[in-house]
Amino acid sequence: MNNHNVLFAQVFGRPKYPDIYGEVYFEAVPDGVMVYAYVTGLPTYKPGNPPIGPFGFHIHEHGDCTVGDENNPFQACGGHYNPRNEPHGNHAGDFPVLFSNNGVSYLAFLTNKFTLGEIVGRAVVIHENPDDYRTQPDGNAGKRIACGVIKPYTGEYNR
């Protein structure tokens, strides 16, 4: 990856899921932006209504991952990134869900819904429940369980 065309978010779980750790890279490519995600420490899938997992995965408006209320964390990052005021399921920040295999998820996909310049300083958020891509405004994805701020990639980060 060329560091000049890459953004990075280091994602941490808090407070109910402190073992979640993730790295999300955004790389400018000719047809848009490639998104690469690697996340560990995800909770075990639990069926139910709502289930725990697969996990909603989005860009949110603000790059503020302050925990705040431990029962409803990461509210400071605002809603889903939606610069064109689209209905849910078509927000620029709506991503595929993260499927966990023994707590680990890998995901890579291409999007043309934003440029790197439009998302730097925003937040990546993982939700406890799957996104249904229909319910307005947030896909009924449940509590926010992990968050990371999108920054220019320098090749250095802290774990």
Contact (CB, 8 A) for 78 and 61? yes
Domain annotation for the chain: domains and CATH numbers:
3-152 (2.60.40.200)
- What is the DSSP code (8-state) at residue 140? T
Q: Is the four-CA dihedral 123, 129, 132, 135 of positive or negative sign?
A: negative
* DSSP-assigned states of every residue in 143-156: SEEEEEEEEE--S-
The two tokens of residue 42 are: 């995800």
Contact (CB, 8 A) for 21 and 11? yes
Radius of gyration (Cα) for the chain, nearest Å? 14
CA distance 148 to 152: 13
pLDDT tens by residue, the chain, 159 residues = 445 689 999 999 988 999 999 999 999 999 999 999 999 999 999 988 888 889 999 999 999 999 999 999 999 999 999 899 888 778 888 999 999 999 999 999 999 999 999 999 999 999 999 888 777 777 678 899 999 999 999 876 555
